[in-house]
Amino acid sequence: MIPIEYLWLTVILVFAIIGMGRGLWKELGATTVLLLSLFALHLGEELILNKLTGSLPASTTSAFPEGTVRAAYYSVSIVFIAFIAYQGVTLEFPVKKQKGVFKWVFGYLGGLVNGYLTVGTVWNVLSDAKYLGISVPMGSNGTKIAVSGNLTKLHDSIVQALPVALMNSNSFVPYLILALGMILLLAIILK
């Protein structure tokens, strides 16, 4: 079994490849939405999670691994937001539209950031929830191994630098994310 972080890093690279085709101006529009949404999700996390877990029966919450509701809250929200940001009305950043190699390079970098924000959030909360207790077959003999029991040091070090972990590490970081999102939004609005 390959380490799980290779899967996550590959999906982030898929976002980067998509960014190559879309271009930087569209990627920065999606980045704006993702940054502001991450701040809102972080801000409402405690209130919403308390309401969600309070409304579930005790037998239901004890059947799931710890952090499952939080993982669902962040994962479903950020994937839905990313889908809308990419497929809905696209905000376009007011930069000169590049063509050729420049479009690919700058679009790749923008897609990489969006992949980090989207996939990194899902990766972070699933890791915190110990991958929901999922086990996968190991080898040809059918032995199952828990994904959370087979994590590498690389995985653990990368998880510390993912969006949700960064926002929880310091009370300043969520406001930095808000400020970056607002600066990008103002640039789009005031073009």
Q: What is the pLDDT of residues 81-140, one digit of tens each?
A: 999 999 987 777 777 777 889 899 999 999 999 999 999 999 999 999 999 888 888 777
Please give the model's pTM, rounded to 2 decimal places: 0.89
The per-residue pLDDT for range 136-177, each reduced to its tens digit, is 887 778 788 888 888 999 999 999 999 999 999 999 999 999
Question: Higher pLDDT residue, 2 or 107?
Answer: 107
Q: Is the dihedral of CA 185, 160, 72, 86 positive or negative?
A: positive
pLDDT at 6 over 70: yes
pLDDT for position 40: 96
pLDDT above 90: residue 10: yes
Of 71, 56, 48, 59, residue with least CA distance to 132: 71
Kindly tell me the sign of the dihedral angle through the C-alpha atoms of 130, 114, 31, 166: positive
Rounded Cα–Cα distance for residues 76 and 71 (Å): 8
Average pLDDT in the 4-19 region? 96
Highest mean pLDDT among 12-16, 67-71, 136-140, 183-187: 12-16
Which candidate, 125, 3, 2, places its Cα nearest to that of 71? 125
Say what the pLDDT of residue 124 is.
97
Q: Which residues contact 91 (CB under 8 A, 6 or more apart)?
A: 29, 30, 32, 33, 85, 188
Residue 14 vs residue 49, higher pLDDT: 14
Instruction: Using CB atoms within 10 Å of the CB of residue 41, give its burial: 0 to 12 exposed, 13 to 18 middle, 19+ buried.
Output: buried
Tokens 């000169």, located at residue = 96
What is the pLDDT at residue 21?
92
Above 70 in pLDDT, residue 60? no
Question: DSSP letters along the chain, please?
Answer: ---HHHHHHHHHHHHHHHHHHH-HHHHHHHHHHHHHHHHHHHHHHHHHHHHHHHHS-HHHHHHSPTTHHHHHHHHHHHHHHHHHHHHSSPP--SSPPP-THHHHHHHHHHHHHHHHHHHHHHHHHHHHTGGGG-EEEETTTTEEEEGGGG--HHHHHHHTTSHHHHHHH-SSHHHHHHHHHHHHHHHHHT-
